[in-house]
Amino acid sequence: MIRKFLFLLLLLVLETSVAAAQDAVTLTYLVDDTQNSQDTAQALADAYMAEHPNVTITIETRPGGTEGDNIVKTRLATGDMTDIFFYNSGSLLQALNPAQTLVDLSDQPFIENIVESFLPTVSQDGQIFGVPTGTAMGGGILYNRNIYEELGLSVPLTWAEFEANNAAILEAGIPPVLATFGDTWTSQLFVLADYYNVEQAVPGFADAYTANEAKYATTPAALAGFTYLQEGYEQGWWQPDYATTRFEQGLALLANGEVAHYPMLTFALSTIAANFPDQVNDIGFFAQPGTDAEANGATIWMPAATYIPQTTQGAKLEVALDFLGFIASVEGVDAITAAVAPNGPYLIVGSTLPDTVLPAVQDLAAYIDSGNSYPALEFLSPIKGPNLEQICVAVGTGQMSAEEAAASYDLDVERQAQQLGLPGWD
């Protein structure tokens, strides 16, 4: 009798072990190689795995910028994409042909947890493909508040005031503006973060641009961003070694007060917080100034998102969908906040920012709360030329004039619009 009992018990243990093994699922999660993205993805994975012991989520990384874009496109095209991946919303997503390559999420119940204004940035042909992963961001100028205090400077509301501040900072022996052209994607902010000012000067520019009725080279307000890059080079605003300085090296210079300004997205704040926790509160944010102090405001970036390629199927797909549901929950937001200092507002219904939010995030929130903010062009138009970062580096290093750059980018945009098959670009 005892032997029979032990035999049955052994069978039960074996059956349970086999079932558990069958239920075990491993997902691979591709993210870009910035510290912010890696920390965000790992925090979400760890929190989810803690609740689902049978699931393993392995993080893989890729470069940012054009190189990373090409990796994502190639892996999707060859059917070699990871089970889930983290990528831009907006125009760059459209270039992936999501309706042909990604899993449609529009019938998933967790879509109701996402702030509605985000959904168009991850949609195509009436389908929804991504879940916001992280916070919205501001594009503008990060600055060292200690330098401003020491030199008695005020936050500029116009470009002329910004120029005056830079002259005073340069006279004090400090490089006024950080350039990290060693990571080419960082070169674009003077152009991209100026869109609030473009919209103020030319209301509806995004629609005209998308319809091939407006160009950078022939629209002075749009050309301005390129002229700012040219001015930075010609006026000697950049720090030494600007052509080879990398993103994280530059953040060290900013945090340590060795440069005054950095045209950048506020997502950089979490990296500063991780690497320089004692200095992160010394960093502030202001909108890239334009020509009119009364029309001063910030350009806003929607969060990137997590997507599922159509190659993910079966049990992996079921777990991937459940994981995206976790990301689109207050619990998921809390997991991110516990690991990464928020860089702006979350776009998950019911989520809140902690009282300890960084000063620069408070600066950004003030623009949003006052209504003085506007989405970046890439969230209003499906077109973003893939070579903008290389063009901006050419201007910022004195190899190309602003006018040449704008004309070159218009050609880049034309090719992109034709690839997307947009009307009016034949």
pLDDT of residue 368: 87
Do 129 and 262 belong to one domain? no
Domain presence at residue 254: yes
**What are 335's two structure tokens?**
């997991």
Domain presence at residue 404: yes
Count of structural domains, the chain: 2
Do 271 and 145 belong to one domain? yes
pLDDT of residue 233: 98
Mean of all residue pLDDT scores within the chain: 93
Do 314 and 239 belong to one domain? no
Surface-to-core class of residue 211, CB atoms within 10 Å of its CB (0-12 exposed, 13-18 middle, 19+ buried): middle
Max Cα-Cα span within the chain? 94
pLDDT of residue 66: 86
What's 99's domain CATH number?
3.40.190.10
pLDDT of residue 1: 55
pLDDT tens across 194-227, in order?
A: 999 999 999 999 999 999 999 999 999 999 999 9
Domain presence at residue 240: yes
Domain presence at residue 173: yes
Nearest-angstrom CA–CA distance, 204 and 329: 34
pLDDT of residue 19: 40
Do 220 and 149 belong to one domain? yes
Three-class secondary structure of residue 263 per DSSP = strand
Nearest-angstrom CA–CA distance, 19 and 103: 28
Domain presence at residue 344: no
Domain presence at residue 16: yes
Do 280 and 311 belong to one domain? no
pLDDT of residue 4: 57
Do 191 and 292 belong to one domain? yes
Do 151 and 131 belong to one domain? no
pLDDT tens across 376-407, in order?
A: 999 999 899 999 999 999 999 999 999 999 99
**What are 95's two structure tokens?**
């270039």
Beta bridge partners of residue 330, listed in sequence order: none
Q: For residue 399, what are the domain limits?
A: 137-301+362-420
| Torsion of Cα atoms, 298 then 182 then 379 then 283, to 10° | -30
**What are 267's two structure tokens?**
């997502």
Do 39 and 112 belong to one domain? yes
Do 412 and 267 belong to one domain? yes
**What are 50's two structure tokens?**
């803690």
Do 294 and 310 belong to one domain? no
- Are the C-beta atoms of 410 and 380 separated by less than 8 Å? no
Q: Identify the residue whose tokens are 């030494």.
A: 240
Domain presence at residue 167: yes
Domain presence at residue 5: no
pLDDT of residue 23: 84
pLDDT of residue 91: 87
Which residue stretches of the chain have pLDDT < 50?
13-22
pLDDT tens across 185-195, in order?
A: 999 999 999 99
Helix 314-327 to helix 35-51 angle (10° resolution) is 110
Do 15 and 155 belong to one domain? no
Do 112 and 100 belong to one domain? yes
